[in-house]
Amino acid sequence: MKRYLIEREMPGVGGKTAAEICHAAEVSNQAIAQLAPRVQWQHSYVAGDRTFCIYLAEDPDGVREHARLSGFPANRIVEIGSIIDPTTAAGAAA
């Protein structure tokens, strides 16, 4: 499985209520259930009028299929090549 960042342009998403966000997650989970195990949703960040979602998938087509089934756009799909964080610096000392 490869890791992908999906950018979704969703005007007003940052102002959604907790109940609306809960419903969106339910809709996403229903689509994921149809695509499992070849697509997995890890988590999403909501920022202004966009969401940035992290998915595991066999290929971008699986991500596009999730977008189709859920009704959520997938404006940009980028394969993640590597992940770094503050602990990555410890590897330089080795």
Round the average pLDDT of the chain to a whole number and report it. Answer: 95
Tokens coding 86: 């503050």
User: Any idea what the CATH number is for the domain that residue 21 is in?
Assistant: 3.30.70.3090
pTM (two decimals): 0.89
Q: How far is CA 87 from CA 13, 27, 43, 48, 62, in A?
A: 32, 35, 21, 29, 31
Q: Residue 37 belongs to what domain range? A: 2-82
**Residue 38 falls inside a structural domain:** yes
The pLDDT, as a whole number, for residue 94 is 52
Please state the domain count of the chain. Answer: 1
Encode pLDDT of 62-81 as tens digits.
999 999 999 999 999 999 99
Encode pLDDT of 49-63 as tens digits.
999 999 999 999 999
Residue 92 or 9, more confident:
9
CA angle 63, 10, 54 (to 5 degrees): 35
Burial of 66 (0-12, 13-18, 19+ CB in 10 A): buried
**Residue 33 falls inside a structural domain:** yes
Residue 35, SS3 per DSSP: helix
Taking 60 as the threshold, does the pLDDT of residue 93 lie above it? no
